[in-house]
Chain A
Amino acid sequence: MTNTSLETNPAPLLKVEKLSVSRSGRSIIEDVCLTIDEGEFVGLVGPNGGGKTTFLLTILGILKSRKGTIEIYGQKPASKSILGKIGWVSQSAANIPNNVRITVRELVQLGTLNARNMFWGGGANQYEQVKNAIQMAGLQDVENRDLSQLSGGQRQRAIIARILASKAEFILLDEPLVGIDRESRNSLLKFLDKLCHESQKTILMVSHDIAAIQQTSHRMIYLEEKIRYDGAATCFPDLADLAALRGIQPVHEHNYTENKLYQLENLEEK
């Protein structure tokens, strides 16, 4: 490690430098630089096709970068030594088909698996680990229920509980708020907030829901091929400024006050 001032400024958990990624010949991400420190709650927003999911998959080492470097915990993506430290909730994770019979407990148990203990089904202390994860997610009452009997919010929490059972410290979530109602959304956000502040997890969450991210995360990043905004969530620009950042002149001033998500999508259509 080349970091000389380790005491005052600990090495960032994630360090991305000049990252460019292409998918099927098209450049999705250009020259992205960012660092994430331990304990941060970062919201990643941006339009469809702006590269949010691509960015996450590249960090995970599932997609290869064209240019640039990524370091997680000082290691390359998907290095063996960091595998257990990263948890990933994919966009489709909660879409487990209804014909799959699996209970919350069975699902969470899968989180305790790794390359070393996967034979004969998990480590010795997994019972405690699973129990704690289920408790943290507040799913004790439904732990023996089949996933298809749960609400969208409960399902999403079950998927996150699976990550918690793995003892991951850096949690990446891809659109966890899609398809769940407002009430579940709020309880899920509260849960994530608790994870960050009480369990010292670092969270990077991708979402369309700018309003939701803004009330929970510390820091927001607006990604559309390049990073257009990176800063405190409270200072996230409103839409006219955002459009300027994206190089678009807002055609028409809207008067929506509450739902920024809707505004942004509306803007894209113009």
Chain B
Amino acid sequence: MGVGSIILKLVAPFLEFIAPVIPGEIFPYFFTMEMFQRALIAALLVTIVAGFLGTFLLIRNLALIGDGLAHVSFGGVAVGVVLGSAGPLWYALLFSIIAAILIHEMQTRELLTGDASIAIFLTGMLALGLVVLRIWGGGITTDIEGYLFGNLLLIDEASLDLICIISIISLFSLSIMYSGLLATTIDPLAAQVQGLPVRAIGLWFSIITASVVVSMVQVVGTLLVTALLVTPAATAQLISRSFRLCLIWTQIFGFISVILGLYFSAELETGSGSMIALVAAVIFASVMIFQSIQRQFIQPTDNIN
């Protein structure tokens, strides 16, 4: 029995307990039926991990790295398939980790900004995948969508296991690296002078990001991973006054997006990933509009110098 099944077993009774008070016609199934429970747990786990990663990625100007690495992983899968590998996913992981490290290195060496190098890797590796499949792929169709858009509602036990393991490892790493990561993100040179292993922290962060993106994209899709990496963290930045609060608000906005998104997708029968992403974006827009209205009418209470 994998980690995912254990977590599911632990959480299921609680979900079934609150199921009677859940509104909607179809939405309560997310709390009672195993298949839907898996989707709910997976979505929440992805949200938690992506929220933590996203807060740091935004400061590092790497907001689109999720999308970029997802496409890089497609290139990896294509190469793996052509080489006749039984597990093309490992190729995807390898390619994405290398890409993440190179993007990080190019940024720290000031050769390219984060978004430019992401764009280069995204297009380059996507193109590599397409070309490789075209020339050597034989009968294999270029089914990009299969690799880039997973379906939240089709999660099997193995996928849930994978998500749980990756989530646990990355949350553990991020929590012990938290301070060091913040220091290197804010001022890498100062951190280096302080004696922090800036390079090692950067590399490890890149590896975690790549692993999270690759494993989760396969399961829940690029759209959802990218949205959850960026949008809740960006919303939290609007209203937070400290880094700690920023992390907390990111989790709150992420949680609300997932629950509301699943609710609307169930009731309106739309895709779950896209609905969650849409809800997250709407929350961002509302907070921003609310905030600018507030700024217009309320004078700042304190003037410093």
| Min CB–CB distance B246 → chain A (angstroms) | 5
Report Cα–Cα, A11/B190, bound state, in Å: 26
A60-94 vs B, Cβ < 8 Å mask (1 yes, 0 no): 10100000000000000000100110111110110
Complex: chain B residue closest to A57, CB-CB: B189
Which of A14-22, A37-45, A98-106, A254-262 interfaces with chain B? A98-106
* Inter-chain contact B246/A101, CB cutoff 8 Å: yes
A228-258 vs B, Cβ < 8 Å mask (1 yes, 0 no): 0000000000000000000000000000000
| Min CB–CB distance B193 → chain A (angstroms) | 4
* Inter-chain contact B196/A103, CB cutoff 8 Å: no
Tell me which of A62, A87, A119, A184 contacts B192 (CB under 8 A).
Answer: A62
- Using known A-B contacts A93-B190, A114-B195, determine if residue A119 contacts B180 with beta carbons closer than 8 Å: yes
Report Cα–Cα, A30/B177, bound state, in Å: 41
- Using known A-B contacts A101-B246, A118-B180, A150-B304, determine if residue A90 contacts B196 with beta carbons closer than 8 Å: no
* Inter-chain contact B242/A166, CB cutoff 8 Å: no
Chosen A-B contacts, 30 in total, with CB atoms closer than 8 Å, are: A62-B193, A84-B195, A86-B193, A88-B189, A88-B190, A88-B193, A90-B189, A92-B187, A93-B187, A96-B187, A100-B186, A101-B240, A102-B186, A102-B242, A106-B182, A110-B182, A110-B186, A113-B179, A113-B183, A113-B194, A115-B195, A115-B196, A118-B177, A118-B197, A119-B177, A120-B176, A121-B178, A121-B179, A144-B241, A183-B305
A96-135 vs B, Cβ < 8 Å mask (1 yes, 0 no): 1101111100110111011100111110000000000000
10 additional A-B residue pairs with CB within 8 Å, beyond A84-B195, A149-B304: A83-B193, A102-B243, A106-B242, A110-B186, A115-B197, A119-B176, A119-B177, A119-B180, A145-B241, A151-B304
Confirm or deny: B245 has a beta carbon within 8 angstroms of a beta carbon on chain A: yes
* Inter-chain contact A114/B196, CB cutoff 8 Å: yes
Across the interface, which residues of B come within 8 angstroms of A150, CB to CB? 304
* Inter-chain contact B193/A151, CB cutoff 8 Å: no
Across the interface, which residues of B come within 8 angstroms of A209, CB to CB? none
Q: Which residues does A use to contact B, with CB under 8 Å?
A: 60, 62, 80, 83-84, 86-90, 92-93, 96-97, 99-103, 106-107, 109-111, 113-115, 118-122, 142, 144-146, 149-151, 153-154, 162, 166, 181, 183-184
Report Cα–Cα, A181/B305, bound state, in Å: 10
B237-275 vs A, Cβ < 8 Å mask (1 yes, 0 no): 100111111100000000000000000000000000000
Across the interface, which residues of B come within 8 angstroms of A144, CB to CB? 241-242
| Min CB–CB distance B239 → chain A (angstroms) | 9
Confirm or deny: B169 has a beta carbon within 8 angstroms of a beta carbon on chain A: no
Report Cα–Cα, A99/B176, bound state, in Å: 24
Across the interface, which residues of B come within 8 angstroms of A149, CB to CB? 304
**3 cross-chain pairs, A with B, having the tightest CB-CB distances, nearest first:** A83-B195, A151-B305, A121-B179
Tell me which of A87, A100, A103 contacts B193 (CB under 8 A).
Answer: A87
Q: Is the interface of A mostly helix, strand, loop or mixed?
A: loop
* Inter-chain contact B196/A146, CB cutoff 8 Å: no
Q: Which of B180, B183, B195, B240 has the most CB of A within 10 A?
A: B195
Q: Which residues does B use to contact A, with CB under 8 Å?
A: 58-59, 176-180, 182-183, 186-187, 189-197, 237, 240-246, 304-305
Complex: chain A residue closest to B187, CB-CB: A93
Report Cα–Cα, A185/B246, bound state, in Å: 32
Complex: chain B residue closest to A83, CB-CB: B195
Tell me which of A62, A90, A106, A110 contacts B244 (CB under 8 A).
Answer: A106
* Inter-chain contact A90/B190, CB cutoff 8 Å: yes
* Inter-chain contact B178/A106, CB cutoff 8 Å: no
Report Cα–Cα, A102/B186, bound state, in Å: 10
* Inter-chain contact A111/B243, CB cutoff 8 Å: no
- Using known A-B contacts A96-B186, A110-B183, determine if residue A118 contacts B196 with beta carbons closer than 8 Å: yes
Across the interface, which residues of A come within 8 angstroms of B58, CB to CB? 99
Report Cα–Cα, A9/B8, bound state, in Å: 71
Complex: chain A residue closest to B249, CB-CB: A101
* Inter-chain contact A80/B195, CB cutoff 8 Å: yes
| Min CB–CB distance B238 → chain A (angstroms) | 9
Report Cα–Cα, A166/B244, bound state, in Å: 21
* Inter-chain contact B196/A100, CB cutoff 8 Å: no
Report Cα–Cα, A168/B119, bound state, in Å: 41
Complex: chain B residue closest to A60, CB-CB: B193
Complex: chain B residue closest to A150, CB-CB: B304
Across the interface, which residues of B come within 8 angstroms of A110, CB to CB? 179, 182-183, 186, 191
Report Cα–Cα, A7/B30, bound state, in Å: 78
- Using known A-B contacts A101-B237, A101-B242, A103-B243, determine if residue A113 contacts B304 with beta carbons closer than 8 Å: no
Across the interface, which residues of A come within 8 angstroms of B187, CB to CB? 90, 92-93, 96
